[in-house]
Structure 1
């Protein structure tokens, strides 16, 4: 799929997620002259990024634009207000890709008709190139369009493809909301260190370095997390004593399952209300 000035790649919304993806595409060498960013409220950093690369910016959608790809990176609560302003841009072969949480593909096809459409669920580590994005595409999406989406989203991390749209809700509960669970774990680990007698600054530094280091080890190692866990757990040692608490019947596993289920349930509620 080739973007051009005549059939550009139009990004609607250049907030944290849209901006992170745009930075990743620039790093991957995507032609900036074939990109148009539509956002009425650019941050200073984003305005600087566009200026450095010579990327065209419009505050409001221009009906003279006829994108080959229209990427919706607006907040879910803005979708109803934004979609009507974009109907004049979409041709029958325009690929519409949405990263708005809780907005089903039916909302896109209701606005634009039976067009190629895909829905993606990225997560915030995309801002440092270490995200993972799950994608579901309807039957109108061609192999070329699918390959383009894969290439674009791979610029900010890994990509997985889903078999049906309902799985997006499960993804939301695991990886979409998941970074917040990890951040909270780091907060709790630091707080436990303070309770044990460490100074707050030291406890926070230790907790953050431990969580990020363990994450990087999992990222680089071919071993399953369970293998890595066992590798650092000496029989009857300190780690084993802590894991007896975390792995108890009322420990971390059932709590995490309950948390993910709550996120999935809320994602479904938001989809119904969309």
Structure 2
């Protein structure tokens, strides 16, 4: 089992959906299990098996006598205030704290853990299949070496984009953090429009779902930007052009998304206090 005394390179707090996905990614990417301590009251059976197989340590509460190299917080935001106080003993002079708890500011973390090198990160749900994107902000105490280590940990779930100010995390939350829901709703809207156009509901949903999934994969693999890909599929005077005249009208999709992202950003700021 992994070490549970002395200095532990990586301590993961919370092995739920996001924390569990990150842990699985770390272990499968070759991070030694002996370098990892997982603190969670009850990880899922499959994850518990993986922890045991890879030689990581698992405890249900923070132990005495352990200092974390990286203290990775993957707990629900509403649990932060109750979970963090006992974790202060894990934070030493060389610890970097990484939080993926949405809406919880570095000031909140410092209130419970004291001054430390800290990173606030905002992944999104596709991280659970290794296809997410994460926005991150590091405070002034984070060293270049710590930032590099954190980048590598976050990168197992997809690309990592660093921002210059913590305030930008609210915009990241509004765009990419909440963004998968917008795409899923787009599928719902396309399918409903297809049904109204005369298709059976289940067929319309299958077509919409695979169209969005395929377009996303093309965007992922193509070197071209989104505007170029859009133009490539739009013949002058054709069916796509007719639809885009509606979507790109003055009262079309762009101002709708402007309002949606602004509303999400405002709410993120309110939740952060």
Query: 5 Å matches for 1:103-118?
Result: 103-118=104-119
Retained in 1: the 8 A contact 2:3–2:57?
no
Asked whether 1:172 is paired with 2:165, we answer: no
Asked whether 1:131 is paired with 2:154, we answer: no
- Structure 2 residues not aligned, in runs of 5+: none
More moved, 33-42 vs 140-149 = 33-42
CA distance in 1, matches of 2:24, 2:222: 27
- What SS does structure 1 have at the residue aligned with 2:7? coil
2:7 corresponds in structure 1 to 7
Query: 5 Å matches for 1:76-91?
Result: 76-91=77-92
Retained in 2: the 8 A contact 1:92–1:114?
no
Give the CA deviation at 1:46: 2.3
**Residue deviations 1:51-96 (CA, integer Å, cap 9, x gap):** 3323211111112221111000001111000111111111122111
Retained in 2: the 8 A contact 1:123–1:175?
yes
**Residue deviations 1:171-208 (CA, integer Å, cap 9, x gap):** 00100000000011011111111221222222111111
Retained in 1: the 8 A contact 2:24–2:47?
no
**Residue deviations 1:218-268 (CA, integer Å, cap 9, x gap):** 111111101100000001111011111111111111111111111100000
- What SS does structure 1 have at the residue aligned with 2:210? helix
Give the CA deviation at 1:44: 2.6
Poorly superposed stretches of 4+, deviation over 6 Å: none
1:254 corresponds in structure 2 to 255
1:268 corresponds in structure 2 to 269
Give the CA deviation at 1:47: 2.0
The count of aligned residue pairs is 270
CA distance in 1, matches of 2:46, 2:174: 30
CA distance in 2, matches of 1:173, 1:243: 25
2:220 corresponds in structure 1 to 219
CA distance in 2, matches of 1:22, 1:109: 24
CA distance in 1, matches of 2:176, 2:193: 25
Query: 5 Å matches for 1:62-211?
Result: 62-211=63-212
Cα RMSD after superposing both structures: 1.4
1:229 corresponds in structure 2 to 230
CA distance in 2, matches of 1:112, 1:84: 7
Question: CA distance change for structure 1 residues 188 and 52 in 2, over 3 Å: closer, same or farther?
Answer: farther
